[in-house]
Structure 1
Amino acid sequence: MTVTIARLLTVPAVGGYYCEDLEALQADSVPLSERYTAPPATPGFRAVREVAEALSVGLVLDDGRVAWGDCVGVAYAGKAGRDPVFRAGEGEATIRRTVAPILEGRKVLAFRPLAEEIDRLTEPVEVERPKEGFSRRDFLTTPARLLEAAVEGTEKGLAPVERVTVERPLHTAVRYGVSQALLAAVAMARGVTMAEVIAEEWELPPPTEPVPIHAQSGTDRYANAEKMIVRRLASLPHALVDDIPSQVGQDGTKLVQYVRWLRARIQELGGADYRPTIHLDVHGALGRICDNDLGRLLGRLYALEKAAQPYPLRVESPLILETREAQIEAMARLREYVRMRGMSVQLVADEWANTLEDIQAFVEAGAADLIQVKMPDLGSVHNAVEAVLTCKRGGVEAFLGGSCVETDVSARVSVHVALATRPAMMLAKPGMGVDEGVMVVSNEMARTLALVRAREGGKNHRGTEDTEDLIN
């Protein structure tokens, strides 16, 4: 029996953490208690820190069932080519005006073509632009964050402005949430898991094995790292950097000291048979303290590698430059310097690897050992599937990531993408508390594998042996 989408529901929701203006935080230390009222530096923010908004989208099927997805963005929105902070009210208006007329009455037959159709949708938006210095072609292809920055400049008297209407792609958060609901609806219609839908439509092997989990500590980098160690996670601790003087140090020594502490705690709490990868996301901080000088930056990486030994080390976003092209060139050169010096540290790309095209460019340039496929940044879920497969075909490891501001719904969908595509690891989400995110993704993974194996006639229907493997 064919299932049809009868109507769409939208419900304002909340994300699992906070959106923060990284540019403001790294430019000047802002105490946590002041971030909720401090003026932002990045267009789209209302304050340096604000509660992440989300929007639940329900596809009401004609048999009464409802397939849900959550529209949500990322914590550091509006930076390095990303869409601005997601606003639930604007997303709801977009869905009612643009998405609902397309989907209501549609038959739920396959995920991929429906997701691709939604991902291609555009909507008219009236904006201000400088009258001089922009060609129409430049304006239509400029990311929203840059346009907003240009408008902000004109308000300060830098140039005259004019109001124009342009067609833009839907916000990535809208495409992300609607595609989650579509994937869930197809899985309901077929009576299988979302992972099996992806495997079938991309002609991949059925999911049979768990995917290693990586967690992020947030600013509580000591207590949360210990939680990860006792849970024996495969990769840790991310170690948020939003205050360079206290977390990295102007010469990098504070971060080295932290890695030494981390190494000691792994040995004390984990034992000799536990060998996780130490994965640090420095959000460009090493570049800032080194004035983006690659030689000096290499020295900082060498010190971190020595501090981490005998554990393998990854460093994500060691520097963040102003354009994708500059970022790729610098990362590729830095990676070459690492190899020439005989170092083992792996470089991870995140910033400027926002779209499938971006990720392909990083892969082709050899600009990373591992790329974070940050799911909300890619819009529709099918793009994340393609991104992981693109990395693997190009000989680059994929990290199926996302954001602490995501929700339980989007995190569970991510698990199914991971099981079907087999990245090197996936992010525990939502939130920054470690325990909750690990629980959501590991339990969803265990349940899904149990269902798949039961259908495949497997002997282990309880999945007890495999639950331990989820985090190792």
Structure 2
Amino acid sequence: MQIKDILLAPGNGAFFYDDQDAIRSGAIQDGFIYVGAPKTPGFTVVRVPASSLSVGLVLADDKVVWGDMMSVQYSGAGGRDPLFDIKEISDLTSQVVVPRLLDVDASLYLDACAKVFEPFQHERLPLALEYGVSQALLRAAAHLRRMTMAEIICSEFDLPLPTHSVPIYCQSGDAREINVDKMILKAVDVLPHGLINSRQKFGTDGQTFMEFVRWVSMRTRELGHPGYQPVLHFDVYGWIGQEIGLAPQSIADFICKVAESVPGFTLNIEFPADFGSTQAQIENYAEIVSILDARGSNARIVVDERCNTLGDIRLFAEAKAAHLVQIKTPDVGSIADTARAVLICKANKVGAYVGGSCTETDLSAQASVHVSVATQADMMLAKPGMGVDEGFSIVGNEQNRLLAILNRRATENVGRKARCVTNAE
């Protein structure tokens, strides 16, 4: 078999794990930390430095390929897996996953993933573990078959080689104004996220939020080059529902009001409300989407919380319970399932946004780029970290390098076909 040994290396995620429940309940921000008692199981404080675990596959030719495991920023919230525990994940990897990895054909990507990720004691393996190992397996298949990771995805899912770039979405973190300026100067496709995760940031009846939205549109006109027209995307962490109420009509009315304040822009509103369960989220989001569509609004609903796994994504897509589904890569698990999720969204004519988390690493971000481009997702997150420059550079440069390789492949194929025709004549 091509895998002859496994390496594990502890690492750092690019941001922090945060207790969303505690923050939503009013934990006070003091500098960079949050003051107050944690509420989500596994958290000892509200904000915890993000950890990661790298898994390296030593191949028969001594090439080592890596993947990174980690959780998302708001671990344990909205039905997600609990806070990442390096020791627990490391032990499970060594005892259960390593023997399976040593017994698969790493050149057959989907087959290898299926065998390695079989349930253990009738339970699915932790999603963070699936995520990291599936990245390493994707790199192994690419190395063994002398392809890019994107080409492996295209081959395994019978997709044409892509020729177009995928729009990149940057997130601001709390340094909103400075990072918005950076995004505009760098002509980011989708911006700014905004981190509207508290009553203070949302404001009474959403006034503070609306003022920020108008400021972003104004700043875009001031600093952007002529013709620059980004999509405006704001994550409100359920605060429309918290402040305005959970009636779909009221939420839709508020979103329409925000959209009307920035004419000429497409407006994405992520996680407008939390209805308490996946089924309730689907039913109410579908109603909000229907209201916005009937009005011809330029606003779009993006689902995040309570849409975690591939099964969840299928339910939301089939119910048209969002205009755009965030495929939060560590929550989906195997990166092969991220590819499947994009294809499910496309089949149901729902937008596919390959997201993830600021807590990820350079390796997981690069692997996500290959899946996003191969499946031609509607947009992808600039990650890792909560700054603009680093994530935009990692994701943007990887995409450009990949497209350069794929364009060369396409040129070679055209030349090969031309030679075949000439020889036949």
2:204 aligned counterpart, secondary structure? coil
Residues 130, 334 of structure 2: 8 Å contact kept: yes
- Partner amino acid, structure 2, of 1:457: T
Instruction: Determine which of 289, 302, 313 is the counterpart of 1:348.
Output: 302
Partner of 2:137: 182
Question: How far 1:120 sits from its partner (Å)?
Answer: 2.6
Does the 8 Å CA contact 1:196/1:207 hold for their aligned counterparts?
no
Find the counterpart in structure 2 of residue 79 from structure 1. Answer: 77
Runs of at least 4 residues off by over 4 Å: none
The code of the aligned residue for 1:216 comes to Q
- Residue 381 of structure 1: how far off its partner (Å): 0.7
Q: Identity over the aligned pairs, expressed in percent? A: 40
| 275-284 or 300-309: bigger deviation | 300-309
- Structure 1 window deviating more from structure 2 (228-237 vs 98-107): it is 98-107
Retained in 2: the 8 A contact 1:370–1:398? yes
What does residue 222 of structure 1 align with? 177
CA distance in 2, matches of 1:276, 1:359: 26
Please tell me the residue identity of whatever aligns with 1:103. Answer: L
- 2:30 maps to 1:24: no
Q: Deviations over 1:54-83 (max 9, x none)?
A: 000000011100010000110011111110
Counterpart Cα distance in 2 of 1:61 and 1:239:
43
Counterpart pick for 2:248 among 285, 288, 294? 294
- Does structure 2 conserve the Cα–Cα contact (< 8 Å) formed by 1:36 and 1:50? no
- Does structure 1 conserve the Cα–Cα contact (< 8 Å) formed by 2:185 and 2:224? yes
TM-score by length of 2: 0.94
Alignment-derived partner of residue 467 in structure 1? none
1:70 aligns with 2:24: no
1:14, CA displacement in angstroms?
A: 0.4
Q: Deviations over 1:225-276 (max 9, x none)?
A: 111111111110011122222x110210000100111111100111330111
Counterpart residue identity of residue 344, structure 2: T
1:97 alignment partner in structure 2 = 95
2:223 paired residue among 258, 266, 269: 269
* Residues in 1 aligned to 2:199 and 2:377: alpha-carbon distance in whole angstroms: 31
Question: Residue type of the partner of 1:411?
Answer: A
CA–CA separation in structure 1 for the residues paired with 2:202 and 2:89:
37
Match of 1:198 in 2: 153
Does the Cα contact within 8 Å between 1:119 and 1:379 map onto a contact in 2?
no
Q: Which moved more, 1:357-366 or 1:34-43?
A: 34-43
Partner SS for 2:197 = coil
CA distance in 2, matches of 1:174, 1:265: 41
CA distance, structure 1, for counterparts of residue 172 and residue 232 of structure 2: 12
Q: Which amino acid aligns with 1:331?
A: Y
**Secondary structure of 1:46's partner?**
coil
Gaps of 5+ in 2: 414-425
- What SS class does the counterpart of residue 237 from structure 1 fall into? strand
Structure 2 counterpart of 1:195, which letter?
A: A
Q: Closer, same or farther in 2 for the Cα pair 1:98/1:449, shift >3 Å? A: same
Alignment partner, residue 417 of structure 2: none
1:25-75 CA-to-partner distances (Å, cap 9, x unmatched) read 111142144746632111121211011110000000111000100001100
Structure 1 unaligned segments of length 5 or more: list them.
124-166, 460-472
* Match 1:322 to one of 276, 281, 288: 276
How much has 1:221 moved relative to structure 2? 1.2
Give the aligned length.
Answer: 413
Secondary structure of the corresponding residue to residue 315 of structure 1: strand
Alignment of 1:242-281 (within 5 A): 242-245=197-200, 247-281=201-235
1:447 shift after superposition: 1.2
Equivalent position of 1:374 in the other structure: 328
Distance in 2 between residues matched to 1:69 and 1:390, nearest whole Å: 25
Deviation at 1:292, TM superposition (A): 1.4
The structural deviation recorded for 1:115 is 1.1
Q: CA deviation at 1:277?
A: 0.6
Deviations 1:135-171 (A, max 9, x none): xxxxxxxxxxxxxxxxxxxxxxxxxxxxxxxx42211
Letter of the 1:448 partner, please give it: L
Letter in 2 for 1:401: G
